Structure formats: C-alpha cells, structure tokens
C-alpha cells in the first residue's frame, strides 16, 4: 500500500493507545500493511501527520478500543495501569497487547481477567518492518496467538518467549537501536577523521552494519566465523580490532545491556513492589 492509499486490505481494526514515539511508528507500519488503525493520544493534533497514512487519530481511548479487534498499548509504564483501569469496561474480552517496559502480565490480568493479555517489546525499526518483537502470553490459545503473530510480524521478526526474558529483551533489542546508532555514528566520525566526505562516511557506516547483520542472519554462522574471514593475518583489519579490544568495546556493550536490564527490573520493582516480593 502506498502512503495515501486507503487502509483496509485486512478486515481487522487495531487501536494503538498512547501513540507517541513507538506508537506512531507501529501505527504507520500497520496502516501500510493494510490494517484499519486508530491511534490515540491526549494531544491528537501532534499526530496529525499520521492521517496521511489513512490512520484515524483521536483522543477518545474508549471509542477506539470499542471498535477494535486488537488493542496495542504504547503508554509509559507509569501511565499504563491507571489507563487500563479507566478503560477496563471497553477492554473486556479484547486481545490486549502491552508494549510497555517493565509491566508484568499478571498486573494487567488482575484488572482485565476476561481479556487475552499479551506482553511484547518491539523496537523503533518496526516502522520499516525491520524490528524484533518478542511477545509472551498468559494463556495458550492457538487462534489468538496466530492473530498476534500476524500483527506483530508486520514489525519485522517476532517470536514467542517466556516472560522472564522480557526485561533483558527490553534492554537488548528494545533499547538496542540506540546502541547500534551510537556505533554507526562513531564509525561515521572515524570516516570524517580520515577525511571522507560526510555523506559517504554515513552511508558506508550504516550499509556496513546492515550488510553484516544480513550476512549473519542469512548464513546462520557465529559472528566470530564471519569476522575471521575479514581479519587477514598482518592486514589492515587486525590493527582496528586491536584498538577496539584495547577500548574494551565488548565489555562496554555487555555492561550497557546489563545496566539497562537492571534498570528495567528496578522500574518494575518500584512500580509493583508486591509483584517483586512474590517472585522472590
């Protein structure tokens, strides 16, 4: 579907409640895939641009939920529970996908015992169908899970995981684009330092990241196996690798993911202290 084509190749309506950064990104992706999409926020005028994709933009959360087959909640963790309480009547019996970091499914289930609860975590690359979107469910239901897979599949790769991995995945793949973009920016600066024009340095950097990831995904090889093919004995690459190891790039990235995971767990613990006590 092109940007201005009418939506509706699919029969289902999906509402995205709290369409800020990530909610807008996934709304665009869903509308382009042919779903009828209703996106809400308290200040819908800020999302007027979404209308050009055929997305209905409103501040009426209850109205959006009532006419939807699936509701995706992209609210901040601190706003999620109070909003679900307010919408509990309209959300009854619906497929409810929470994209909020750090909110356990059980908390949502307690408010919405008759709804099909899904917890998921996408990333910003969902806007171009290249995200990674793990999800977990409280109850196995083949038909509903298949619908969830189809919708989340619009955002790129999706897979069902155990909820115990969600905080770590929030840190790794939810926050991940910020880490990778830092690396791409650093590569571009390296190019500028040795005199490349800005546009060439930028394209060479992101294309190299994209190509390496594609090769890895398509070959199924371990990253080291591909890396070894690039490192010629006594050649150019090993000098660069030596500097990266000297700068502790691997421990820096490992620590970044560990710190973000700890933060996700802390947010969860601060918001839901009783849930955390029960887990121990």
Ligand X SMILES: NC(=O)c1ccc[n+]([C@@H]2O[C@H](COP(=O)([O-])OP(=O)(O)OC[C@H]3O[C@@H](n4cnc5c(N)ncnc54)[C@H](OP(=O)(O)O)[C@@H]3O)[C@@H](O)[C@H]2O)c1
Per rule CB under 6 A, is residue 123 in the interface with ligand X?
A: yes
With contact defined as beta carbons under 8 Å apart, do 164 and 171 qualify?
no
Closest to ligand X by CB, 171 vs 188, is 171
Q: Name the residue with the smallest CB distance to ligand X.
A: 20
Q: Hey, which residues between 164 and 223 contact ligand X (CB under 6 A)?
A: 174
Phi-psi region of 208 (alpha: psi -120 to 50; beta: other; left: phi over 0): alpha
Least distance in Å: CB of 242 to ligand X? 34
Exposure class string for 253-265: b at 16+ Cβ within 10 A, else e: eeebbeebbebbb
Compute CA distances 9 → 40, 132, 198, whole Å: 22, 24, 41
Structure tokens at 87: 């919408």
Distance CA 166, CA 192 (A): 38
Least distance in Å: CB of 168 to ligand X? 14
Closest to ligand X by CB, 33 vs 75, is 75
With contact defined as beta carbons under 8 Å apart, do 103 and 81 qualify?
yes
Q: Hey, which residues between 67 and 106 contact ligand X (CB under 6 A)?
A: 74-77, 79, 83, 99-101
Closest to ligand X by CB, 46 vs 238, is 46
- x-or-dash string of contact with ligand X, 25-64, rule CB under 6 A: ---------------xxxx--x--------------x---
Residue of 26, 213, 57, 207 lying closest to 125 (CA atoms): 26
Least distance in Å: CB of 280 to ligand X? 24
Per rule CB under 6 A, is residue 21 in the interface with ligand X?
A: yes
Binding site for ligand X (CB under 6 A): 17-18, 20-23, 40-43, 46, 61, 74-77, 79, 83, 99-101, 121-124, 174
């Amino acid at each position: 579907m092109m940007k201005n084509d009418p939506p509706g190749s699919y029969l289902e309506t999906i509402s995205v409640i709290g369409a800020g950064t990530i909610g807008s990104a996934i709304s665009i992706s869903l509308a382009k895939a042919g779903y009828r999409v209703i996106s809400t926020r308290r200040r819908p005028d800020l999302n007027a641009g979404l209308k050009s994709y055929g997305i209905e933009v409103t501040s009426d959360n209850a109205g959006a939920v009532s006419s939807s087959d699936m509701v995706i909640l992209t609210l901040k963790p601190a706003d999620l529970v109070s909003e679900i309480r307010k919408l509990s009547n309209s959300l009854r019996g619906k497929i409810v996908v929470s994209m909020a970091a750090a909110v356990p499914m059980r908390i949502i289930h307690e408010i919405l015992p008759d709804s099909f609860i899904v917890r998921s975590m996408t990333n910003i690359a969902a806007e171009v169908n290249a995200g990674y979107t793990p999800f977990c469910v409280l109850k196995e239901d083949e038909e509903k899970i298949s619908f969830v897979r189809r919708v989340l599949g619009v955002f790129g790769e999706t897979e069902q995981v155990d909820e115990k991995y969600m905080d770590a995945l929030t840190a790794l793949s939810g926050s991940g684009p910020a880490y990778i973009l830092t690396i791409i920016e650093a590569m571009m600066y390296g190019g500028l330092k040795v005199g490349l024009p800005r546009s060439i340095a930028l394209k060479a950097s992101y294309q190299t990241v994209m190509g390496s990831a594609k090769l890895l995904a398509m070959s199924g090889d371990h990253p080291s196996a591909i890396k070894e093919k690039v490192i010629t004995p006594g050649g150019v690459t090993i000098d660069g690798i030596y500097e990266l190891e000297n700068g502790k790039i691997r421990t820096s990235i490992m620590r970044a993911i560990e710190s973000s995971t700890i933060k996700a767990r802390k947010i969860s613990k601060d918001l839901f202290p009783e849930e955390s006590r029960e887990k121990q």
